[in-house]
Amino acid sequence: MDEALKRTDRVIVHVDLDAFYCQVEHVRLGIPTDVPLCVQQWQGLIAVNYAARAAGIKRHCNVTEARKLCPEARFVHVATFADGDTTPQYHSEGISYQTHKVSLDPYRKASMKIMAIFERSCPKYQRASIDEAYLDLTDEVNMRIKTRLASSSSTDMDDDAEPDVNWDGAGILVGDQVSHSTGWRDLQLRVAAEISQEIRATVYKELQYTCSAGIAHNKTLAKLCSGLNKPNKQTVLRQAAVSPFMEKLPLGEIRNLGGKRGTEVEEALGVTTAGELWKYSVETLQAKFGASTGSWLYDICRGICHEPVTETAIAKSMMAAKTLRPHIKTVAELSHWLEILSNELYNRLIDDNALNNRWPRVITFHVKHPLDASSHSRRTDLPPFHDFVATSIRDRCLALWTSGGDGSASRWPIERIAVGVGGFEKLDAGVVSVKNFFKKVEPTDEPGVVKTPTPTPAPGAESSPPSRRKPPAKATNSLQNFFNAAPAPAPSNTGATTTNPSPQKHRPPSSSSSGGPLDAFFQTTTTTTSATPSSPTPQKSEQPASAPGPNPASSDSPFQCATCPPGSAAFTDARELAEHNDWHMAMALHNEERGGGGAAAAPPSSSSSLSSSTAARGGKTKTGPARGKRKRATTAGDARSRKAQPPLAFGRRE
């Protein structure tokens, strides 16, 4: 038996929620899922449920078009912060980009709960976007196999014998729908299918969300499979079916080959499917695309992928930003928008503290004036956790603004503002006292009082999910650069013949600064970003969010990004362009914080998926169990909260 298990492989499941934002709204509003429902942001749709898809509505329709296609569909606008809101609200009237700021908090929170189930079910999991994760089930699968064999007569099985596998009830098989097969690897997949069903059932039972899953021997194949039979189904790719499946697979459907890089390969070699790459030797591919990328291509077109499931890195910074249209010209307006950003960061910081027991030291305030090429930034300290209230960040930024320093203090108008917090430190020494301090606080309904005894868990690398996250059609970096410097791949028993390092471990090229898929997915709204690379595995469909990408239909749009390479980032309207610019600003700040200068970063390429409202690196993010509800400080309550908390040393109110 032990010998036989050595002939097995890894078993990876990729799980992706069905029409995720829509499901969150179905559950919140108690609307049955067979009612067509779309989630809108301003006048665009960012999620469309399956009933609405059946009526012909697509994600890139606008609300007017969608209503024509399906008059009975429900349209739910994402939550927003309006003037005076300290937590995001589901406003339904008068929502405007000029007066509101989108919050994807409800989806982040739902995501945290889902990820907690994944983690509970499989400690080796990797959050890959706001609504998807990879689970490495190898250990659990092999344990189940051993246990079952031990309790049956099969223990006597000859090491050369191959076990019988019954596929009934396992899900949909890619290729031939065989009902039986033999082999250890198939047995592993069959057991993984069983565990996957258990996990999906748990998600449904606890949260009423359905999800789809792909089950295969590596991440790339599992990801390809999870989308094959949506919604609410799982798909298994047996090793025997890999070659026929890959042979016909369009190159662009493979992770990292969905954008410019895929096009580069297609054009250089005149190929469109993975199978057409088979005729090229690894040496030829390396000569054309570089050693790492060539080797990676050679493997990936055969369905070979060594990339490990890695735990999510924790964010190193958080940021919120807003492009201001019209530009603002008064301190009152600045104060208004800073308060909105302050509230947003406040909520996320408190969640992050509950989850990671850390607190940032520094606030960086960024201001961009219309005619300036780059923004100006200044820093100050963040109040300690126990002195922190919802308006602390606003007050400190206003103090920075009025204190002058780099010549930007008195300059109006302002086109964009961004506020970042970073320099996180563990509250190690004070951990007990700080936690105890809050535990002793009596619950109160008084608004504005920071009661932290029972915080809700936040996803580690929190970030805002994406809004429009179609990647720019053209990435700025070459395919070759993409994988350079990749670490050597883990040994594989998939039969790979190449000895070159696995490129997937490389950071995506697009933004020198950042941009793992996690970032992306942590990303959130276009206007809220945090930057920082996290996961080393860029994924085509996981580009959530970082840089709001251009609408593919708008390549001749007059709304072109001035920072991106000419023609590479066109938007349908000024609002989308503004959101995209917010992302640049966030990235610039992030780069600056990392010592990379303040220049605007390139937007994520199609495969780099940056994102995030929270950037990360350097730690493990664990989604822990909910610790209960916490009252947030509110603006109205700030005065009251100040009774219990000393006023800030500086800061000013308008």
Residue closer to ligand TTP, measured from CB, 42 or 482 = 42
Binding site partner of 434, from ligand TTP, Ca ion, none, Cβ cut-off 5-8 A by kind: none
User: Cβ of 602: how many Cβ atoms within 10 Å?
Assistant: 26
Considering the rule CB under 6 A, would residue 468 count as an interface residue with ligand TTP? yes
Kindly report whether the peptide bond that precedes residue 413 is cis, defined as omega within 30 degrees of 0: yes
Contact characters 15-54, Ca ion, x per CB under 5 A: -xx--x----------------------------------
Contact characters 223-242, ligand TTP, x per CB under 6 A: -------xx-----------
Q: Which whole-number Å values give the CA distances from 346 to 86, 205, 407, 461, in the listed order?
A: 9, 32, 28, 15
Smallest gap from residue 130 Cβ to ligand TTP (A):
6
C-alpha–C-alpha distance, residues 348 and 392, integer Å: 14
Give the footprint of Ca ion on residues 110-169 (CB under 5 A).
129, 131-132
Q: Which whole-number Å values give the CA distances from 197 to 157, 173, 455, in the listed order?
A: 28, 14, 31
In 543-652, where do the E strands start and end? 559-560, 570-571, 614-620
Binding site partner of 391, from Ca ion, ligand TTP, none, Cβ cut-off 5-8 A by kind: none
Binding site partner of 21, from Ca ion, ligand TTP, none, Cβ cut-off 5-8 A by kind: ligand TTP
Contact characters 541-580, ligand TTP, x per CB under 6 A: x---------------------------------------
Smallest gap from residue 537 Cβ to ligand TTP (A):
16
Ordered alpha helix ranges (H), 157-229: 184-207, 219-226
Contact characters 355-384, ligand TTP, x per CB under 6 A: ------------------------------
Is the separation of the CB atoms in 319 and 611 below 8 Å? no
Give the footprint of ligand TTP on residues 34-53 (CB under 6 A).
46-47
Contact characters 226-245, Ca ion, x per CB under 5 A: --------------------
Binding site partner of 468, from ligand TTP, Ca ion, none, Cβ cut-off 5-8 A by kind: ligand TTP
Smallest gap from residue 20 Cβ to Ca ion (A):
5
Smallest gap from residue 450 Cβ to ligand TTP (A):
31
Query: Which position has the token pair 């300036």?
Result: 372
Q: Where does this chain touch ligand TTP (CB under 6 A) — which range of 4-12, 337-345, 443-451, 464-472?
A: 464-472
Select from 4, 11, 15, 19 the one that contacts ligand TTP (CB under 6 A): 19
C-alpha–C-alpha distance, residues 340 and 88, integer Å: 10
Is the separation of the CB atoms in 627 and 456 below 8 Å? yes
Which has the closest alpha carbon to 81: 54, 99, 100?
100
Exposed (0-12), middle (13-18) or buried (19+): which is 32, by Cβ within 10 Å?
exposed
Query: What are 329-334's contacts with CB under 8 Å, separation 24+?
Result: 329/412, 329/413, 329/414, 330/412, 331/398, 331/401, 331/402, 331/654, 332/654, 334/398, 334/401, 334/414, 334/417, 334/654
Q: What is the spatial order of strands in the sheet that 37-41 belongs to?
A: 44-48, 37-41, 74-77
Ordered alpha helix ranges (H), 16-55: 20-29, 50-54
Give the footprint of ligand TTP on residues 127-146 (CB under 6 A).
130-131
Considering the rule CB under 5 A, would residue 545 count as an interface residue with Ca ion? no
Considering the rule CB under 6 A, would residue 465 count as an interface residue with ligand TTP? yes
Structure tokens at 219: 């991440």
Considering the rule CB under 6 A, would residue 21 count as an interface residue with ligand TTP? yes
Is the separation of the CB atoms in 215 and 193 below 8 Å? yes
Structure tokens at 298: 């050679």
Smallest gap from residue 104 Cβ to ligand TTP (A):
8
Residue closer to Ca ion, measured from CB, 119 or 132 = 132
Q: Where does this chain touch ligand TTP (CB under 6 A) — which range of 109-117, 353-361, 468-476, 560-568?
A: 468-476
Which has the closest alpha carbon to 530: 614, 600, 462?
614
Q: Where does this chain touch ligand TTP (CB under 6 A) — which range of 13-21, 276-284, 295-303, 397-405?
A: 13-21
Give the footprint of ligand TTP on residues 298-337 (CB under 6 A).
none
Report, in angstroms and rounded to the nearest whole number, the Rg of the chain calculated over CA atoms: 25
Select from 15, 17, 309, 564 the one that contacts ligand TTP (CB under 6 A): 17
Residues that bind Ca ion (CB under 5 A): 16-17, 20, 129, 131-132
